[in-house]
Structure 1
Amino acid sequence: MSGLKLSHVVSGAIAVLLGYTSSVAIIFQAIDVLGLTQAEANSWMLVLGLGMGLSTLVLSLRFRMPILTAWSTPGAALLVLSLDGVSLPEATGAFLVCGALLTLTGVTGWFEKVAHLIPDAIGSAMLAGILFRFGLGVFSSMEDNLPLVATMCATYLAGRRWFARFTIPAVLLVGILFCLATGAFDTGATFTFTLAKPVLTLPEFTLTAAIGIALPLYIVTMSSQNMPGVVTLKAAGYRPPVSAAITVTGLTTLILAPFGGYAFNLAAITAAICAGPEADEDPATRWKAGVVTGVVYCIVGLLGAAVISLFLIAPQALVVTIAGLALLNTISGALSTALADPGQREAAVVTFMTTVSGITFLNIGAPVWALVLGGLTAFVLRPRRVAG
């Protein structure tokens, strides 16, 4: 880790901030549906943080790429709808089945073969569509807190003009100072900083839970999380070890499922932050931002729900704006790659618009349908071969 830069630390911190604030509320809803005790809830938050942190550390250090992992956000939303009336042991059994399916997917290698067939233009268009709402959030958040967002945007422009290497750290610092000065943080919250403890739940395997929970959880995790995660790294110029990464996330799920680690997968949004030029101008050393992310995830996990509450006291406009500004370069780069080839341009536009639409059919999210429709468009509009 020699040569660690401020940009690595800031990118890692922003990735963790975005990872928690964007979806931790959904995790709390799933915990509430299961009726967990406080100790069991703390165990969930402990292993989810450690699972993301340790798997990110292993993959980033082993392959020298910013390979970030995450809990399955659409999977958590699925659990909110499907766990009603299900006991915790039954749910744990379903989590283990999902982990076994993820591990099997990584070991067999079929998913990697499919992922490498995606054309660069279509993959980049899907990435741009996934990140589009974060860039758009910068401007929509002006309605909530115009002075804060305007100040951060002005800092961003000044940074890009005069101190490009420190633009995002400066924007984050200015945003925090502005919130402190204006009292925008919720300072009335109370916290107890104690280490969380794992609580073991013995699994109970039932066919109903396997079909109704494990299989849908596996499908949404693969389609809505792992596929975008692979595309994100490819669009950043990396050739990710897809099978090895899926295997690691599957094994992490298998090990931590009895303690609340319901499903882990490759990250897309947070990975885009650490794999982009804001993390480091040199793609070969951006993996250090991934390592920082892993360490911070572990720390947050060890301190349990108390530290997670700290992420929730920040005004939403601060989180949305810093994430959007940090991703602007990545969005522009993805759009540039997507539209560079005139022969693939229409397919890329279809992919982009399908992703932005957010459509969902058969429990399969927009990114996968974007690849299907974009690929179909590219196939239909491919140039005809002239007989020689």
Structure 2
Amino acid sequence: MSAATSPSERRVSARIGAISESATLAVDAKAKALKAAGRPVIGFGAGEPDFPTPGYIVDAAVEACRNPKYHRYTPAGGLPELKAAIAEKTLRDSGYQVDASQILVTNGGKQAIYEAFAAILDPGDEVIVPAPYWTTYPESIRLAGGVPVEVVADETTGYRVSVEQLEAARTERTKVVLFVSPSNPTGAVYSEADAKAIGEWAVEHGLWVLTDEIYEHLVYGTAKFTSLPALVPALRDKCIVVNGVAKTYAMTGWRVGWLIGPKDVVKAATNLQSHATSNVSNVAQVAALAAVSGNLDAVAEMRTAFDRRRQTIVRMLNEIDGVLCPEPEGAFYAYPSVKALLGKEIRGKRPATSVELAALILDEAEVAVVPGEAFGTPGYLRLSYALGDEDLVEGVSRLQKLLGEATD
């Protein structure tokens, strides 16, 4: 071993050095920096509602700030009253009955995902990850010592994987299958029949399932959200549900998520959190308590706006020659294929990848989008339509003008 690669000389550990930066946050940060510098950039990068957190939730947080009870440490696994309320909310919204002892309150959904994988994976365990995937999933798996195994779906299936694809990816090292519906980045929603088939396949082969339900209330048209452990009761002893208040209640910055699972796994994950961060901010937990205990009127208003924007962005994107955008059924993302544009000349350049095309779009149209490479599928772009209607139309109009110039 040379001195340059010896452990004593390595400044950053190999494990942490291998982590990729969050592409979605990087795009959002660049767009905001350009806007701060005076450029009229329109950002489609960030996956967060453009609405303020509802007032009654903010009021609850203000009151919590004044209460000395919340000025001190609280249980690492979450406020007991919040865990009880999450259990009630889960039954109300998902038809899934759980006990408060099966819940761990985390610093956002990302911590819940990492701690879930860390609690059940040993080095070399494989996790089947349908792609396109959210950027954090494979990184969390690797950090926990696991190996992500990608199964790719494209626009021809509405970005939904089949049981046959999952079975083809299963090996003797497979321990977990990731299930996300509605999906980030595609907006895909699995039918009840398809979700049930995947859950029953997992039970048949003794696999764990981690299911991310963060977009449960953002579904459109005839699509319906179904909670996998409620749909397939036999799965419950090997299922971990991840959720949070970020998307439903426009609370991305409050950083409150949770995981639900078997008691032994939740206890193990709680032990991990007790050493990593201890309790989530009490003020944020009280705000989350108000959110999950309240009604869903605020999300109904947001969903109406998102649905309108969804229809607009899909129509406008499909008006561009070389762009194919399936209609998303959930979340707030459009995921168009731009493969037909790659290699074509646009303002003197010939972008060969969606990374290069996204860079060209930012430079020439001052529109920020996230390339498909960030989600495991080159040749696509992700656009969040969680932004104002006027900005959305202006931003896609700029794309229409720029990409309409593409020539062979």
TM-score (norm 2): 0.27
Identify, as 1 or 2, the structure richer in strand. 2
TM-score (norm 1): 0.28
Identify, as 1 or 2, the structure richer in helix. 1
